[in-house]
Amino acid sequence: MSARVCPCALGAALLTLTVVGPGPAQTAGPSPTPDHMPKPGMTAPEMAGRAADRFPQPVRAGDLPGRFLLQPEESQPVLGRVTGLVRRDDGDAALIVRLDGVLGLNRLGLQPAAWSGVESRLVAVPVEAVALLGEYVALMGLTPEHLRALPTVVAGSAAAIPPDETLRIGIVRPFH
C-alpha cells in the first residue's frame, strides 16, 4: 500500500518555506575571542601555564633567528623578526625580536609590519609568550600592543643563548 500525499499539504509546505526562508546563519554581536588569542593583562605564571598546554617541543636556539614573528589571527600580520635568544635576569629565555618601522620594511622582505614607528628597535619577548607555527613564530601570550610597549633592549646587554642549546617551545595550529 503506498501512502499518498495530499497536494494541499505539499503546497502548504512549499509556501511556508518560501515565505519564511532560511534563518540567519550567525547571531548578532561580536564574536567571542578564540582560546588561542592572548588575554589582556596576562601575568607571567598565566603565560607559562598556557605555554605548557601547547605541547612544548625541543628546538635548537640556533634555528630560531631569522623567523618572522606573526600575530595570531587569520591574516597573520608580521610583527617583527627574531634576531637571537638571551637569558633574562630571572634565568628564563627570551627571544630578541626586531620591530621594524616604516623605514625597515626591506628587512622584513617588503611584508607589511604592524609596528608604525620610524626606525627598528629590539625587544625581549619571553619564550612563554610565543609558539612555533611551522617556519614562523606566533605571538601567543602578548597582544601586539603589549609587544610594542616592551622596553627597547640594547644589543649585548644580556647573556646570549648558544645556538646549540635546546629550548622547549610550544606549537600551535594555523589560525584559519
Is 78 among the domain residues?
yes
Q: Say if residue 127 is exposed, middle or buried (CB neighbours under 10 Å; 0-12, 13-18, 19+).
A: buried
Bridge-based pairing of strands 136-139 and 68-70 is parallel
Is 106 among the domain residues?
yes
Domain containing residue 136: CATH number = 2.30.30.240
Is 144 among the domain residues?
yes
pTM above 0.75, yes or no: no
Residue 54 sits in which domain range?
44-169
Phi, psi of 119, deg, nearest 5: -110, 165
Element (H, E) at 19: helix 7-20
Digits of tens for pLDDT over the chain (176 positions)?
Answer: 556 656 666 666 666 666 555 555 555 544 444 555 555 566 666 666 666 666 788 999 999 999 999 988 888 888 999 999 999 888 889 999 999 765 444 444 444 444 455 678 899 999 988 999 889 999 988 888 888 888 898 877 888 999 999 999 888 877 66
User: How many structural domains does the chain have?
Assistant: 1
Per the CB < 8 A criterion, the answer to whether 66 and 82 are in contact is: yes
Is 38 among the domain residues?
no
pLDDT value, residue 81:
93
pLDDT value, residue 68:
94
